[in-house]
Amino acid sequence: MKKEFSGITVDPELLSVANITVEQVDALLGPDQSAWKIAPSPRLDDYREGKRHLHIDCKRGELFHLCASLDTRYICCSTHVAAHVSNCPFECTYCFLQNYLTDTTLTLVANVQAVLHEIEAGIRQQPWRLFRIGTWELGDSLGTGPIATSARRLVEGFSGFPNALLKLRTKGALVEPLLDADHGGRTVISWTVNPDEFISREEIGTAPLSRRIRAMKQAAEAGYLIGLHFDPMVQFDGWQEAYKRCVQQIFETISPKDVCWISIGALRFNPEMKRKIEINYPRSRITAQEMVLGDDNKLRYVRPVRVEMYRHLIGCLIEAGAGCCLIYLCMERPNVWQAVFEDPPLSIGELDYRFAVSLKRRFPGLDLPDPVLDRYLTAAEGV
C-alpha cells in the first residue's frame, strides 16, 4: 500500500460541526492513503516534517480575501484567494512558506461547501465584477491526491458562479481527478513553469516540465482554460536559450488559444528569507546573484536585469504565437511596466479591468459580465 504521508489526522470538529462523515473522509483520501485517526492538528514546526503530515480540518473564520501580496506601490493583478490549503508537499528552495508558516502541518479544509458559501456571498456584492479566485496562496492547488479531490468539489461549485473564475495553480501534474468534472468553463488550471535546468535543482519533488506540459494538454482537452506563470524567473548561465526552449516546448503541445493569461515575475524574497534558503538548501545558487532591496523589503535583481529578462521572455512568447494572451508582470512598479510594454496599464484597477476585457473578448462563450472601466478603477481605490 502506498504511504504518501507519515501521518493523517482528522479534526474532531470536522465530523461534527461540519457534518462530514467517515465515508466522506475515506473518499477524500482515496484507497491508497495511509490509515487516519481522529485527532487535532499536531501543530508541527519542522518545515519538512510538516509536509509529510496531512491534517484534514474544517473551515475556521474567513478564507476569502484579496491576495496578501497586493501592494498599492506596485501594479498588482488584484486577484482574490480562498485559503483552502496550507503548506505544500513540494520543496522549492525559494518558497516563502519556509519563512512564513508557524504551524507547518499540511492542512486541507474539507468542508468545501462552507468555503463556497463564503465566496458566493462575497462576489454577490459586486455582480458587475469578474473575480479571479485562487487557492494557492499558502500551498499547491493540486499538490497531492486529497487536495486534488477536494479541488474537484470547488470546480463543480464554481460552475454556477456567473462572475467568478477559480484559479488552481500547481507545479505538479495531477489533473486526473478534474478531467471529467462539470467545470462550466469557470476554472483556470495554471502551471508555474521554468526550464528543466532550474526545476531539477530548485523545485524539489515537483513534476518535470514535460509532465506539466502533458497535464496542460489533458486539461485543455477537457475544456479547461490554461494559465502560465513564469514566476519566479531566474538568471543562470544560458538562461536566455533555456527560457526560449521552455516556451517552445509548451506551445509545441498546447495552443495559445487555450491560454487565458501569462504572468512573469523575477525571483524575489526578503532578507530573512535569504538566510533561510542558505541554511535549508546550502547547494542552491539562487541567492548568489546581485540583488537590491526594495521599499517592500524584498530583494530583487537590479531593474535593468529584470527588464532585460522580461523583454526576452515576451519576445519568445510572441514568436511562439502567444501574443494573443494577456501577458502581465507580477509585483513590479509602473516604471518597469513602462520599460517592458508599449501600452502598459497605469494602475491596479486598470489591470483588473484588462483581465475582464481580455477574457470577455477571447472567450465569449463564458458569458462573463460586461466590464466597465470606471467601476474597476473605483473598486481599486478602496484597496
CA dihedral 209, 305, 274, 107 (to 10 degrees): -40
- Please tell me the predicted confidence (pLDDT) of residue 286: 94
User: Among 199, 194, 185, 160, which Cα is nearest to 258's?
Assistant: 185
Question: Whole-prediction pTM value?
Answer: 0.95
pLDDT at site 272: 92
Domains of the chain: 54-381 (3.80.30.30)
Phi and psi at residue 91, to the nearest 5°: -130, 80
- CA gap 297, 7 in Å, rounded: 37
What is the full per-residue pLDDT of the chain (383 aa) written as tens digits? 356 888 999 999 999 888 899 999 999 998 767 789 999 999 888 888 899 999 999 999 999 999 888 888 999 999 999 989 999 999 999 999 998 888 899 999 999 999 999 999 999 999 999 999 999 899 999 999 999 999 999 999 999 999 999 999 999 999 999 999 999 999 999 999 999 999 999 999 999 999 999 999 999 999 999 999 999 999 999 999 999 999 999 999 999 999 999 999 999 999 999 999 999 999 999 999 899 998 889 999 999 999 999 999 999 999 999 999 999 999 999 999 999 999 999 999 999 999 999 999 999 999 999 999 999 999 998 76
- Cβ count near 334 (within 10 Å): 14
For 125, the 3-state DSSP assignment is coil
pLDDT tens digits for range 137-147: 999 999 999 99
Residues in the chain: 383
What pLDDT does residue 1 have?
Answer: 34
